[in-house]
Amino acid sequence: MWKNLAGTTKLDERKRSVGKESCGCIISHSPGTGKTRLIIVFAQSYLEQFRESHPVVIAPASLMLTWEEEFKKRNSNIPFYNMSSQDFSGQENQSA
């Protein structure tokens, strides 16, 4: 995952490689295998290295409440916006 998103796993090369050929990543493991936790921990680590980045997680609307609860449970400092929420005001991109 690091190599695909950051371009390399080598610490000395990592800061220079972001943005050049970084890509996305799809995680499609079976239910209950820790995908949500993996993404939260990965995003926190990634943001420590690349503070100017803005990761986006796309998940089915039926799972967004689960994702929101996991972000709260993990005390994540990552902004979380549920774009399928009825509370969506259209002003969220001002914070992005």
Domain that holds residue 2: 1-19+34-79
Tokens of 50: 């690349």
**Would you call 41 helix, strand, or coil by DSSP?**
helix
Domain count, the chain: 1
Is 92 inside a domain boundary?
Answer: no
Is 48 inside a domain boundary?
Answer: yes
At 3 the pLDDT is 61
Is 55 inside a domain boundary?
Answer: yes
Is 25 inside a domain boundary?
Answer: no
Is 51 inside a domain boundary?
Answer: yes
Is 93 inside a domain boundary?
Answer: no
At 17 the pLDDT is 47
Please name the amino acid found at residue 70. Answer: E
At 54 the pLDDT is 80
- What's the rounded Cα separation, in Å, for the pair 52 and 68? 23
Is 24 inside a domain boundary?
Answer: no
Tokens of 51: 């503070």
pLDDT tens digits, 19-56 = 555 566 777 778 888 888 888 888 888 888 778 878 77
